[in-house]
Structure 1
Amino acid sequence: MVLTVTLNPLLENRIEFENINWGKVCRGIKQEYKAGGKGLNVSRQLDYLSIKNVALIFLGGNNGKMLRKILIDENVDFASIPSKCETRAATIAIEKTQKRITSLFEPSSELTENEINEFKTKLIKMIQNCGIVVFSGSVPNKKAASIITYGIELAKELDKISILDTYGNHLQDCINAGPSVLHNNVDELEKSLQINLSSEIKKVKFLKELYEKGIKLAFITNGAKPTYASKFDFVYKIQSPKIDEIDSTGSGDAFIAGITYGLEKSLVFDQFVKVASALGSVNAARWDVCNAKLEDIENIVDSIKVTPIGKKVKLINDSPTHS
């Protein structure tokens, strides 16, 4: 069982246009509401991979009610903690001709200390009943970031795998908590940690530093450019084939779902990083977010190259596992 944690879920109002003339009146050709937020994207993708999972989220106000209905309609298994503040929303403007998306986000909710404590209490029970817990996405306010560090430490106490995919000023504290697995893109790491990852040497050095903090698996993605990964103190460069990119939104979440899939299925490293990379690529070639099936990636997986950097190790099943 996998638990995904989304502290800042999103109600998406997705409107499609042939073209948008900014500053003018524009009329859409299609509109629909969708559930957003990185952890919910991971849950959706895991559902398409037939991996049993449950999402833990905050829901509040009318937006929260709408988001709840969408999740039920999508058959996403979830539990929620009520918040007094409205669940955040965003307008997603899709320009079909230019293959371009513009996202307009509302301000995040301000969670109270009582709501945060209630979430932590719920988290204790849910982590006990899962093998892997995924902390994904932004935090609505500074206090809410304590949920992630608390959850990582709790997962370690309970001998569970924790996967971290967040960004912002709280990222360093989350890294220091020592998750089992870390994923970020280059831009998130550079802005959140005030570091420079412009070269391969700098990326490799950073991955080595993560291992010294007890992070067993780490992944640095960078769009269509190569992904750099570490498994214990071994480092790899992962190159995916070129694709006709439409929208990369959620590709990192699809990647995380692939890593989670591999750990849940006890696949070897070389196998599940290819699955993860293929899922990210397929997602970027679609308008929809995190809805790829395994058969959708069959033609891509074998063309993904995993190259060791530095010392090499035999590909055996020594990835983090759970009972």
Structure 2
Amino acid sequence: MIVTVTLNPAVDIAYKVDHFKIGHGHRVEPGRKTAGGKGLNVSRVLKKLGENPVCTGFLGGNNGKWIMDQLGQEELEHTFIEIKGETRTCLAFLDEELGTQTELMEKGPVVSEEEQEEFEEVLKQLMSEAGMIIASGSLASGIPASYYREIGEWARAVHIPILLDTSGEALEKGIEGKPFLIKPNKDELCNYMNQPDLTLDEMIAAAKKICGQGVQYVLVSLGKEGAILVGNDHFLKAEIPTVQVVNPVGSGDSMLAGMAYALQKKYSLEECLKWACACGTANAMEQGTGTIQPHIVQELIRKTKITQEEKG
């Protein structure tokens, strides 16, 4: 069983706005409303791949109830802690003509220490049956930046691999928990290294530095350039096929789901990277977020090329 952790989910509402301008009013059609959060996107893709993940984290208020209803409709098993605060709302304004996306993301509700303690009990109970933990996304207000480190320590104590996808201080602290794998994109890795940009060699060096702190693998998503997977004695680079991109939002989450699925199946590292890239690319070809078509994934796996640039 794979458990996905979403500590700061959201009701995501996306509006299509032609010629979006700051300071102007825009009449729009009703927005597309989804149960959002990186871990929920991961769960959807795992479900499409035939897995039955269990979702957990924090949900509260009317937004939280709406998300739970949506998860029920999607037949996603969940064990969320109900909190007093209201789960956040995030807005996205998509201008297809200009090819831009403007987002307004609420910080999220305050989660009390008591609610965090209740979550710890639930997660540790789930760990008694879990084969893997995937922790994704930002932290809600009131949750310390070190929380992913703590989750990593809980998982390591019972020998369960944890895959971590977050950014900023949460990533810095999370690495201290020695997760099995982290999945930054290039911008997030640049921010971690306090650099405006990194070359491929510099990204590899940064990833190896992170591996030196106890992380087994660093998976760096590079958009249309593919991805790299770096370990202490491995460096793989993936080249992906050119596709018609419809909506890239959620592709990083889909990539992580593909990686988790393949790791769970004990595939080779090369095959794991193919699955990760194929799922990320397949998501970008769909209108929805955290959505793939399994037959498209299989086709993309065949078209994804892996090169082993370095070993040792």
Question: What range describes the TM-score normalised by the shorter chain of this pair?
Answer: over 0.9
Distance in 2 between residues matched to 1:24 and 1:17, nearest whole Å: 11
Q: CA deviation at 1:277?
A: 0.2
SS in structure 2 at match of 1:13? strand
Q: Structure 1 vs Structure 2: percent identity of aligned residues?
A: 28
8 Å Cα contact 1:270/1:306 also seen in 2: yes
CA distance in 2, matches of 1:97, 1:113: 46
- Under a length normalisation based on structure 2, what TM-score does the superposition of the two structures give? 0.93
Q: Which residue of 2 aligns with 1:8?
A: 8
Residue matched to 1:125: 125
Alignment-derived partner of residue 317 in structure 1: none
Counterpart position of 1:169: 169
Partner of 2:63: 63
Q: Deviations over 1:231-282 (max 9, x none)?
A: 4421111111222223221110000000011011111111121111011112
Equivalent runs, 1:41-60 vs 2, <5 Å: 41-60=41-60
Q: Is the 8 A contact 2:138 2:167 kept in 1?
A: yes
- Residue by residue over 1:136-184, the C-alpha shift from the partner in whole angstroms, topping out at 9 and shown as x without a partner, is 0111136343432121111111111110111121212211211111111
Q: Which moved more, 1:28-37 or 1:5-14?
A: 28-37
SS at match of 2:55: strand
Contact 1:120 1:147 in 2 (8 A): no
Could you tell me which amino acid in structure 2 is paired with residue 150 of structure 1? E
1:201 and 1:192 mapped to 2: Cα distance? 16
Distance 1:311 1:21, change over 3 A: closer
After TM superposition, the structure 1 stretch with the greater mean CA deviation from structure 2, 90-99 or 230-239, is 90-99
Matches within 5 A, 1:1-323: 1-17=1-17, 20=20, 22-141=22-141, 143-195=143-195, 198-311=198-311
Contact 1:20–1:95, Cα closer than 8 Å, also in 2: yes
Return 5+ residue gaps in structure 1 as ranges.
Answer: 313-323
Larger displacement relative to structure 2 (112-121 or 193-202):
193-202
Q: How many residues matched?
A: 312
Deviation of 1:60 (Å): 1.0
CA contact under 8 A between 1:138 and 1:168: conserved in structure 2? no
Deviation at 1:48, TM superposition (A): 0.6
* Partner Cα distance (1:100, 1:283) in 2: 18
Of residues 272-281 and 107-116 in structure 1, the stretch that sits farther from structure 2 once superposed is 107-116
Gaps of 5+ in 2: none
Distance 1:149 1:237 in 2: 28
